[in-house]
Structure 1
Amino acid sequence: MSHSNPLEAFKLNTFFLKALTVWHVENPTYRLYKIFVVFSFAVTFFSAWICALVNYNVSEISENFYYLPAMSTGPLKYAIFQKNFTNIVNLTHLLETQYAKIRTENQKKIFDESVIFERKVMKNFAILIIPTCVAMFIVPYFQDRREMPLIVWFPFDYKQPVVFDLVYFILAFACISIAYTNVSTDAFFYTCLIQIETQCEIVSDTLRNLDKIVTNGFRNVAESRKIFIECIEQYNVILRYTKIVSDTYQGILVVQFFCSLVALCLTMYKLSLADPGSQDFIKYFVFKLGVISEIFMYCYFGHRVLEKTEDLYFAIYEMHWYDASKQIQNEVFIFMGQLEKPIVFYVANIFSLDLDTFKKIMQKAWSFFTALKNMHDIRNN
């Protein structure tokens, strides 16, 4: 029997969260840096929305409405994550102290592969958004006609040479930080869900091979019952862990899905009006893919957890429980009753995080897009 450290999977993710000041660090210098980050977020968020609300009837500004809902998710996720940080601490403590016991080489392999996968998720997302950040927030600064990376409003003339550079730096820094805050908070959630499915896999493997793990199999009643009870207790720990993750991310899930759905509808509407092959068409298309991928990843990892907990239910059938003592058989039936309801994550307690929900969201977005397009066609005719 061996123990592995599940927090290894969070190392890269935690590094980014600390760099973005999303993670709490007790340090005076870090606190000053955090004030600057929050200030840049606030300036960017409010200047963009004020500009949109005040000048909503100006065509140049209304053309850029599509990215505002998606841009808003970063600061809102930042605030919600900070508010629920006590839950994050409890979550990591629970992982560190009450992780599933690893009893076989196969279980060790399951654990190691999950850690590698979790690191890849964070690394790939961090790399994928680099071209977007460079193209949107760095390249425009070096062009002949320099403009702000966003449509914003300030109560002063920000086009003066030194002022422009300072404001541009704050906006570019904030936008890049917002992008990585989105990625880091999302990846933290994905990692939490991968931890749930990994623990379910380990418990499933223990149940399937219980008669092999225990010396003399089910004839060793005391030892086989002890390990079976440990599996039940571990599943209860998984449920506690799941509740903490769900409570921590409930607000973030609501923000993500609401903003993404609005951004998706607006982007698809803009896409329908743009000429195929034009620069605007490509811009809207790439942005749409980014929004869809965020929704898909949440639903995908939620679906994986659903499948692994369903697999845990079927693992009971494969454990040769009919060879066990009457006491273990009775406990098996009780545990099976508990496993009939798989682990499902919900958004605002309305719809579940799974691939069926993703399909429905795409259908709703398409319906909304069609309605917007029809209204536009009627208005022009």
Structure 2
Amino acid sequence: MTEVFDISQSYDTEKILLGIAGFYPTKIRRGLLVSLVCSTVVFITFTQFASVTVYAKKQISDVTKISEIFLFSTTQIAFVNKLINFVVKNENTVKIDGLLSDTVLTRVNKHESRMLRNEIQKAKTAAVLYRILCASVVISYGIFPQFDRTPGKKNYPFYGEYPFNPDNYYVAVYIVQVCVVGVSAWLNSTMDLLFVKLTTLATVLFAILSERIKNASNRRRNEDVTVDVALRKCVVYYNTLLTFVGLIEATFSYGIFIQFLCSAIVICLTGFQMMVINFTSAQFILLVFYFICMTCQVGMYCWYGQLVMQKSDEITNACYHVNWNEIDIKSQKMLIIIMERAKRPSTVHAAGVFPLNLATLMTVRAKLCEQQLKHGQFTQHLFLNCFYIGFFLT
């Protein structure tokens, strides 16, 4: 007994959040209000980035301030690149939506439906935890500057140069700066989680394909669906799934590459900041939240990329469960075709430079640890390793 499972509903939250800002190709994007929101988001982000850049030129001799400014600037560079890349590749998201509405992928039995629901629920739980972490960073930016106040000086979430005295409009400037961080976190985390949920779907769909291949030889000639027909459907399903993974890579590849480069720089700069500021200051707590958020972001991409590669690699093992000696020659040839293709696991790459898997994550960790030890950041080195241990245990 089969049913049609609406796979695309698993990332409805991300579609709505990106659609509100006008960056997801849905019908709502055509509205005047949405276009205004989209323009406001871009304007505020670039204005604040320009303000920080101008201020940095005047503080070139202050290493501590420059590192803090560069920390924010690098994060914004990664965010803007990801956003531009996503908008440019908007047509791919339309193709993904169409592909996930195809009955080849949506028609499942009760067992497969349970598999989909379980994995989607896990992805949604991870999404909630990640959003809480991002929200903690935004709240920290809004609250902690007030705890580190010095007499006669007004603190802001981050430095900036303005054509007016910001102290005269302290509350307004403060709110705008927090909003910039909030909008960046909102859109950045949403694009991250869209990738997470799409790769989760790819992972469970590969698992479903493995189950179907294993059960293919259980067919009998007198059944409506013979071994030959079952394997034909598996080939079509496999091709559709490979197209889906290819679209995921094409949509997010460049943005992930820039994110990785910027994240490595940000993690190092955060470690430097944690070393030069007072451990008892509120800013140190902010940096701890920020450090965890950035390492979690890199870890998520590699972890879910690893799951896709791992599940696609299991297709070969599934083929070995088929009683090939009991099926006809035509079915045996189709089985060989599936096995030959499965020799090369589906892997999501970052701009074709490196794959998103645990090997890449460990390489990044090793390089960061090497740099931290080189510069005497022993506390940050220990913190980074403890975080990765906790990440994998979770």
Deviations 1:231-271 (A, max 9, x none): 11111111111111111112211111000011112222333
Question: Structure 1: which 5+ residue stretches go unaligned?
Answer: 375-381
* Residue of 29, 34, 48 corresponding to 2:33: 29
Separation in structure 1 between the aligned mates of residue 143 and residue 289 of structure 2, nearest angstrom: 18
Is contact 1:218–1:323 with CA below 8 Å preserved after alignment?
no
What's the secondary structure of 2:309's corresponding residue?
Answer: helix
Change (3 A) 1:134 1:271: closer
Distance 2:235 2:63 in 1: 61
Structure 1 residues 32 and 141: alpha-carbon distance in aligned structure 2, compared to 1, 3 A threshold:
farther
The 5 Å alignment of 1:183-332 reads: 183-212=189-218, 214=219, 217=220, 223-274=226-277, 279=282, 281-332=284-335
Aligned to 1:177: 183
> Partner of 2:16 in structure 1?
15
1:42 partnered with 2:50: no
Aligned length: 369
Contact 1:126 1:183 in 2 (8 A): yes
- Contact map agreement 1:100 1:202 (CA 8 A) in 2: no
Alignment match of 2:159 (pick from 151, 157, 168) = 151
Which whole-Å CA distance do the structure 1 matches of 2:104 and 2:148 have between them? 53
Structure-2 change in CA distance of 1:96 and 1:26 (3 Å): same
2:157 partner SS:
coil
Which of these residues, 119, 123, 133, is aligned with residue 128 of structure 2? 123
Query: 1 CA distance for matches of 2:118 and 2:156?
Result: 44
322-331 or 115-124, larger mean C-alpha shift:
115-124
Q: Report the alpha carbon displacement of residue 138 of structure 1 after superposing the two structures with TM.
A: 5.0
Q: 2:30 is paired with a residue of what secondary structure?
A: coil
- Matching residue within 141, 144, 162 for 1:136: 141
Q: Measure, in 2, the Cα distance between the counterparts of 1:363 and 1:218.
A: 56
Residues 338/60 of structure 1: CA separation in 2 closer, same or farther (3 Å cut): closer
Deviates more, 1:35-44 or 1:185-194: 35-44
Q: Is the 8 A contact 1:309 1:343 kept in 2?
A: yes
Specify the alignment match of 2:98 in structure 1.
93
- Deviation of residue 15 (structure 1)? 2.0
Ranges in structure 2 where 5+ consecutive residues have no aligned partner = 378-394
C-alpha spacing 1:348/1:319, structure 2 compared with 1 (3 Å): same
Counterpart residue number, 1:378? none
Contact 1:12 1:122 in 2 (8 A): no
C-alpha deviation, 1:71, in angstroms: 3.6
Q: Is the 8 A contact 2:133 2:289 kept in 1?
A: no
Structure-1 residue corresponding to 2:383: none
**Aligned-partner residue type, residue 155 of structure 2:** E
Amino acid at match of 1:241: F
State the AA in 2 paired with 1:224. V
Q: Which amino acid letter does the alignment assign opposite residue 7 of structure 1?
A: S
- Residues 321 and 129 of structure 1, relative CA distance in 2, 3 Å threshold: same
Match of 1:62 among 46, 60, 66: 66
State TM-score, norm by structure 1. 0.89
CA distance in 2 between counterparts of 1:62 and 1:373 reads: 20
* Residues 1:365 and 2:371 are matched in the alignment: no
2: CA distance between counterparts of 1:320 and 1:66?
58
CA distance in 2, matches of 1:124, 1:282: 19
**Alpha carbon RMSD of aligned pairs, Å?**
2.5
Worse overlay, 18-27 or 39-48 = 18-27
Q: Give the aligned residue type for 1:268.
A: G
Residue aligned with 1:238, SS: helix
| Contact kept in structure 2, 1:91 and 1:241, CA below 8 Å | yes
